[in-house]
Chain A
Amino acid sequence: MSTPAPLREKAQTRWMMGQRRQGGMALGLAVAAPLLGGALLLWQAWTLADILGRAVEMGEPMAALMPAILLVATLLVGRTLLGMIGERAGAAAGEAIKLHVRQALFGQLLSRSPRAGDQPASGAAASVVIDQTEALDGFFARYFPAMIQATILPLAFGAVILPLDWLAGLLFLVTAPLIPLFMALAGWGAQIATERQATALSRLSGRFADRLRGMLTLKLFGRADAETAGIVAASDELRRRTLKVLRIAFLSSAVLEFFAALGVAGIALYVGLTFIEFLHLRSTPLTLQAGLFLLLMAPEIYNPLRLLAAHYHDRAAAKAAIAEIEKQLGALPEAIVPLADAKAPSHTGALAVRIDGLTLRTPDRSRTILSDVALTLEPGQHLAIVGPSGIGKTTLLEAIGRLRAHEGEIGLDGLALQDWPEAELRGRVAVLGQKPRIFHGSIAQNIGLGRPGASRAEIARAAELAHVAAFADALPDGLDTLLGEDGVGLSGGQVQRVALARIFLRDAGLILLDEPTAHLDGALEGDVMDTLISYAAGRTLIIATHSMAAAGRMDRAYRIAAQSLVEMPLPHRRDRKGSAA
């Protein structure tokens, strides 16, 4: 983050140009085809001027001009084909590059620790992977080929014209390179403003997402009108910002238009004045054919630049997008990180847990949650961790599950946690978080995540154990009922039971459960705990819970207080109806 801005920008540009490789052959074609088309254009303009000159100046009859007319027609067809090849290849290159970048970004996001402090929120991550990456499309599919054309074609055209008429050639050769210079001057301001606009857009989109998520709450508090007005105000603010950018950005296109119009007008006047012998700048007289050729080429000289200007915002948008990607992710990915599923573990059986001198902090390291704690758990023991909310039960569980960083020692079966191969660890440790994610798909698919490849019967059995079947059977599609994003359509208790069913598909030696019964009432809590405990026989189990009833079913209980772990007497196993009051 301390890298100076210009250096960072250079690195970003280098990264973007580096992605060209992913465009491969297609990008090459997208660049080459229009260049060849430019050569054909010269030929076509010359032939057309030739036809007109011979007809009007020499009075040649139509029949003599036939071959030349046919040649013009053929050249037109050829240019069309080249144009199509270039366009389609550009699109293919853009898609290939975006696909690669998306995979690289997603891989980078997944390969980090899930609780890393710099992990972007899901909305921002989706915006980076989908929308910001989409902004690269225009750069590679259109801007890049246009840039090569704009660099080569005007100079090539000018060089061809120079021997024909030194003044016109010089005019082209001098004005053409001036245009990008002026455009860069005008575009420089636009670039800064475009970046600012991208930030505004991303914030606006974040506001949408956030307000949408809570739309029901807003409606119930009578905020519908206020929030609608807020969205309009935010959009209007965006308009004012954007317009400020555009006033400058459009100057660059006006500059271009100025030169293009000046080129045509200048050539027309120069050629006309030469013809009526008002100007005497040539040593040889000018033919009508040559004069017309100059006029036909005058707008074409500036066309590649016009094309470049039309796609100039593609470049600005891509650069702004890359800056945004780097800001959100901290770094730009180089290659696609290959990730693998956990394999079936080579050993099974309960794991021993040994914690010593463990210190846990918040991801931004601003606060210490647990300090220098110790804990030893024999294989097959069941442990409850209790304590007020926010005290660090979840953090401890996640640390043992290697879902977040820790200081000090955590050992499983005598092997330090950090030395466990990922696949082996995941095969032997099962974790149920406090807020398990329900993925978009059916109930059965969601349960099946517990073990990819689990059979339908196994999934049904797990659903039975977790009391999912109890409510799923009442649904029209049963276990095949599709769930909305993050379990829309399920109550909190139902979400928890679906997530719990995943655990039953696994043959884990250590089970970490975070508030597995938080949303369940007394009777159901008792039933779920019954199945859990019978499943956890011969496995090590740690649950974090508020429920004394659940804690009472364990072998031991610890309390978190003042950043340390304190063993406490096991809460009395209460009557399942829970009439402690």
Chain B
Amino acid sequence: MKALLKFRPLFANRAKGLLLALALSLVTLAAGVALLGTSGWFITAAALTTLGVSFNLFVPSSLVRGFSFIRILARYGEKLVGHDATLRLLADIRGWLFGRLFPRIPLADRSLRHGDLVSRLTADVDALDTAFLVAIGPIAAAVVVGTVMTAVLAWLIPGAALVYGLCFALAALAVPALLVVSSRRAGTEVVQRAAATRMAVLDGIDGHADLVAFGILGTTQADFADKAGALAAARGRLASYATAASGSVQLLSGLALVSVLWAGLLAFDAGAIDGPVMIGLLLAVLGSFEATGAIVRSVAKLSTAMAAAERLSEVAEAPIAIADPARPMALPEDGAIAFADVTFCYGGNAPVLRDIDLAIAPGQRLAITGPSGSGKSSLLKLLLRLADPQSGRVTLGGVPLTALRQADLHAHIALLSQDSPVFNDSIRNNLLIGRADADDVALWAALDAAQIGAFVRSLPRGLDTVLGEMGRTVSTGQSRRLCLARTLVSNAPVLLLDEPTNGLDRAAELAFFETLKTATAGRTVVLVTHAEIPEGTVDAVVELRNGAVVR
């Protein structure tokens, strides 16, 4: 519940629409109760009257018609207003979450699996989104209807008010609270197991060729069946709780009805109330149970929403590992990069970089070589401030990176990482990520420099060719080169290229090194590679071994 309350500001932004929907749902309920009550009173009074045709027909009959039409219109309005507000809220929450997530990238927590994250962003946001409309709204409406009915009963059949009020309060408040508490674990379990099942599918499809090749499809299938079965079992448990709760609500409604009947008849016997009013009230009481009918379904949604809120805020409130300084300094004119006595390790493990001293002059082309795991990629990470060193400083133009805005730094330094993705979008949009205002001339120049211009020209739709999910429509080498082109198209004066020729054959690799010079003219280039670099490609070579500079 606490986690859910954290999202109050987001809900408050859409308060007008949400409250209007709530008010309309109250009008709908009230009109229904009034319709039944008036009808019961009317026919009983008509049955008992001795006035015949001179009985005042006009008031009850117009009330009955009026309540009907109010109910029809209020119902339609409630649905439309409520859904509009919720959907606006949905866009708000999605944008909010994305905005919260970006500063927290790269996520420190390794357990944030991709499949799980996707499920969070869609399912959890949806669950949170409907929390008001399908969970809080009906419960609030039930409380209001129950309070008003109890007050009316206290006035007309005082003997029934206490039991009715108690039953209604239990049904609208205690049962939901109990259900929330008891189904909490089952709800969390459902979400976790759904994520595990999703992960099994992602693994099964992305690793399909491996699974076939190793001949372990049977094991994979059995493992999936276990996971899906566990998910079904958890959902079943959740359903059991919900069933018990809806049974309790129905029993409480029954108890309320019988007690009003009982007290009403006693009052009637005692002459404290006349027949038409007593019967009208009894029918109104029956009508008021419409408000409790939706409660259990609401509670189930509320539990889901609370679990979702908890998991969402866990991501959204994860500490920002790398924060911008309060008063950032301007990006220095002089782009000299220096590592001074830098030591770095990942979370208490053995250091991956030790006492690194390194200077890179503006416009210099530097290659960093060394065995895999020697710390080459970590060096680039520090340069981009994706992590901060435990000791020592990294400076740009003499200014420590920690004194700069990350956005400025990232605009200054562009990275081609080993796992740069191709987005499920057109080639043009993929390149424009590097520089939003690049024209076609610049795009083609970058594609040519990355040795893939000819391929893109051969495609029927050229730059407008849409690449599939994970770049599945192009080969590994081709997607690598598209990513390289994206990096080249950026305006950044410093380019970090982590194994840019991976996936290229030697001839293409040599051609790439050939064009590197012209493609990056005037820019600083840090090239991490273990390919053989032709003479004259770079100005200097630094070799890393086991986290230390050896050459």
The answer to whether A295 touches B43 (Cβ under 8 A) is: yes
User: What residues on B are CB-neighbors of A340 within 8 Å?
Assistant: 217-218
Query: B219 near A: Cβ within 8 Å?
Result: yes
Please determine whether A126 and B68 come into contact, CB atoms closer than 8 angstroms: no
Contact call A77/B251, Cβ cutoff below 8 A: yes
The stretch that binds B, out of A174-182, A264-272, A353-361, is: A264-272
Q: Mark A467-505, 1 if CB is under 8 A from B, else 0.
A: 000110011100000101110110111100001001000
| Interface bits B80-106 vs A (CB < 8 Å: 1, else 0) | 100110011011101100110111011
Which of the residues B221, B490, B504 comes within 8 Å of A106, measured between beta carbons?
A: B221
Check B213–A429 contact: CB distance below 8 A: yes
Residue of B nearest to A426 (CB): B215
Q: Contact partner of A223 among B61, B91, B433, B535, CB < 8 A?
A: B433
Contact B208 A119 (CB under 8 A): yes
User: How far does the alpha carbon of A91 sit from the alpha carbon of B186 in the complex, in Å?
Assistant: 15
* Interface 1/0 per residue, B395-432 and A, CB below 8 Å: 00000000000010011001101111101110000000
Q: Which residue in A84, A265, A435, A502 is a CB contact (below 8 Å) of B476?
A: A435
Question: Residue of A at shortest CB range from B195?
Answer: A130
Are A269 and B61 interface neighbours, CB within 8 A?
yes
Q: Mark B516-533, 1 if CB is under 8 A from A, else 0.
A: 000000000000001011
Are B39 and A277 neighbours in the complex by a CB distance under 8 Å?
A: no
Is A439 an interface residue, CB under 8 A from the partner? yes
Binary contact track A117-136/B, C-beta < 8 Å → 1, others 0: 00111111110011100000
B424 touches A388 (CB 8 A): no
Set of chain B residues within 8 Å of A129, measured between Cβ atoms: 197-198, 201
* In contact, A485 and B199 (Cβ under 8 angstroms): yes
Q: Does residue B182 face the partner (Cβ distance < 8 Å to A)?
A: no
Q: How far is the CB of A282 from chain B (nearest CB, A)?
A: 14
Within the assembled complex, what's the spacing in Å between the Cα atoms of A208 and B90? 14
Q: Which residue in A299, A471, A578 is a CB contact (below 8 Å) of B373? A: A471
B369 contacts the other chain (Cβ, under 8 Å)?
yes
* 9 pairs, CB–CB < 8 Å, chain A vs chain B: A56-B279, A95-B239, A210-B424, A211-B423, A288-B44, A485-B202, A491-B418, A581-B532, A581-B533
Q: Is the CB of A88 within 8 A of B243?
A: yes
Least distance between A165 CB and chain B CB atoms (Å): 13
In the complex formed, the residue of A with least CB distance to B78 is A250
Whether B219 lies near A452 (C-beta < 8 A) is yes
Q: Are B205 and A121 in contact (CB under 8 A)?
A: yes
Q: Which of B224, B239, B499 contacts A92 (CB 8 A)?
A: B239
**Shortest Cβ distance from B396 into chain A, in angstroms?**
15
> Given B106, B221, B372, B436, which contacts A493 in the complex, CB threshold below 8 Å?
B372
Which residues of chain A come closer than 8 Å to B71, judged between CB atoms?
257, 261
Contacts of A106 in B (CB 8 A): 201, 204, 221, 224, 228
Q: How far is the CA of A204 from the CA of B436 in the complex (A)?
A: 22
Known contacts A95-B235, A103-B224, A493-B372; is-contact A80 B110 (Cβ 8 Å): no
Q: State whether the Cβ of B122 lies closer than 8 Å to any Cβ in chain A.
A: yes
- Tell me if A125 and B201 are in contact (CB < 8 A): yes
Q: How far is the CA of A250 from the CA of B84 in the complex (A)?
A: 12
Is the CB of A7 closer than 8 A to any CB of chain B? no
Once the chains bind, are A341 and B217 in contact (CB under 8 Å)? Answer: yes
Is A235 located at the chain interface by the 8 A CB criterion? Answer: yes
Residues from 30 to 72 in B contacting A, C-beta threshold 8 Å: 35-36, 38-40, 42-44, 46-49, 51-53, 55, 57, 60-61, 64-65, 67-69, 71-72
Chain A residue with minimal CB distance to B102? A224
The 8 Å CB contact of B209, one of A242, A386, A387, A403, is A403
Interface membership of A436, Cβ < 8 A: yes
A20 located at the interface, meaning its Cβ lies under 8 Å from any Cβ of chain B in the complex: no
In-complex Cβ contact of B47 among A57, A228, A390 (8 A): A57
Q: Does B158 contact A (CB under 8 A)?
A: no
Chain B residues 434 to 491 lying within 8 A of chain A, measured CB to CB, are: 434, 436, 455, 468-470, 472, 475-478, 486, 490
User: Could you say which residues of chain B place their CB within 8 Å of the CB of A427?
Assistant: 215
Stretch of A8-16, A405-413, A513-521 lying at the B interface? A513-521
Q: B433 to A388, Cβ gap below 8 A?
A: no
Kindly state the separation between the CA atoms of A102 and B94 in the bound complex, as whole angstroms: 28
A201-238 Cβ-contact flags toward B at 8 Å (1 or 0): 00011111111111111111111101111011001101
Cross-chain contact A243 with B204 (CB below 8 angstroms): no
B residues near A72, Cβ cutoff 8 Å? 257-258, 261
Q: Which bucket holds chain B's interface residue count?
A: 35 or more
Q: Would you call A461 an interface residue if the criterion is a C-beta within 8 Å of the partner chain's C-beta atoms?
A: no
Contact: A123 with B202, CB < 8 Å? yes
**Is A48's CB within 8 Å of the partner chain B?**
yes
> Knowing that A79-B250, A339-B217, A433-B210 are A-B contacts, what are 4 other residue pairs whose CB atoms are under 8 Å apart, sorted by A's residue number?
A76-B254, A217-B420, A449-B214, A485-B115
A62 to B269, CA, bound (A): 7
Please provide the 8 A-B residue pairs with the shortest distance between their CB atoms, ordered closest to farther. Answer: A342-B215, A426-B215, A389-B477, A437-B207, A76-B254, A268-B39, A91-B239, A493-B372
Provide the residues of chain B in CB contact with A580, threshold 8 Å.
532
CB atoms of A121 and B236 under 8 A apart: no
Quick one: given A95-B232, A209-B118, are A403 and B213 in contact (CB under 8 Å)? yes
List, in ascending order, chain A residues with CB within 8 A of B356's CB. none
The chain B residue sitting closest to A390, CB to CB, is B475
Partner of A433, one of B102, B213, B384, B417: B213
Contact of B76 among A253, A398, A519 (CB under 8 A): A253
Closest residue of chain B to A493 (Cβ to Cβ) is B372
| Cβ contact within 8 Å between B212 and A114 | yes
Nearest CB of B to A446, in Å: 10
Interface size classification for chain A: 35 or more
A570, CB-defined interface residue at 8 Å? no
Interface string of A367-378 (1 = CB under 8 A from B): 000000000000
Find chain B residues with CB under 8 A from A267 CB: 39
Instruction: Collect the chain B residues with CB atoms within 8 Å of residue A493's CB.
Output: 372-373
Q: In the bound complex, do residue A232 and residue B76 qualify as a contact, i.e. CB atoms below 8 Å apart?
A: no
Given the complex of chains A and B, what is the CA–CA distance between A329 and B83 in angstroms?
32
Contact indicator B201/A130 (Cβ below 8 Å): yes
A449 to chain B minimum Cβ distance, whole angstroms, is 6
Q: How far is B210's CA from A449's CA once the two chains are assembled, in angstroms? A: 9
Which chain B positions have C-beta within 8 A of A521? 369-372, 530
CB distance from B203 to the nearest CB of A (A): 5
A95-B235, A339-B217 known; A110 vs B204 contact (CB < 8 Å): yes
| Min distance, Cβ B171 to any Cβ of chain A, angstroms | 12
Least distance between B221 CB and chain A CB atoms (Å): 5
Residues of B within 8 A of A65 (CB): 265
Residue among A95, A389, A390 with max Cβ neighbours from chain B (10 Å) = A389
Instruction: From B38, B101, B410, give the contact of A221 (CB < 8 A).
Output: B410
Is B371's CB under 8 angstroms from A523's CB? yes
Give Cα A489 to B258, complex, Å: 65
Instruction: Enumerate chain B residues within 8 angstroms of A205, measured Cβ to Cβ.
Output: 118, 122
Task: Tell me if A466 is interfacial: C-beta within 8 Å of chain B.
Answer: no
Chain A residues, Cβ within 8 Å of B49: 275-276
A524: B residues at CB distance < 8 A: 371-372
Question: Are A130 and B269 within 8 A (Cβ)?
Answer: no
User: A499-539: which have CB < 8 Å to B?
Assistant: 499, 502, 506, 518-524
Interface residue B150 (Cβ < 8 Å from any Cβ of A): no
Say whether B198 contacts A439, CB under 8 Å: no
Nearest CB on A from B267, distance (A): 10
Cβ B258 vs Cβ A253 within 8 A = no
Once the chains bind, are B220 and A221 in contact (CB under 8 Å)? no
CB-based contact A291/B94 at 8 Å? no
- A265 touching B279 by the CB < 8 A rule? no
Interfacial chain A residues near B214, Cβ < 8 Å:
342, 426, 430, 449-451, 502, 506
Cα(A238)–Cα(B126), bound, Å = 13
- Contacting pair A130 B194 (CB below 8 A): yes
Please name all residues of chain B whose beta carbon is closer than 8 Å to the beta carbon of A210 when the two chains form the complex: 421, 423-425, 469
Is B80 touching A232 in the complex (CB atoms < 8 A)? no
Q: Is the CB of A80 within 8 A of B215?
A: no
Contact for B95 among A114, A229, A251, CB less than 8 A: A229
A contact residues around B266 at 8 Å (CB): 62
A231 touches B94 (CB 8 A): yes
Known: A69-B262, A239-B90. A275 touches B43 (CB 8 A): yes
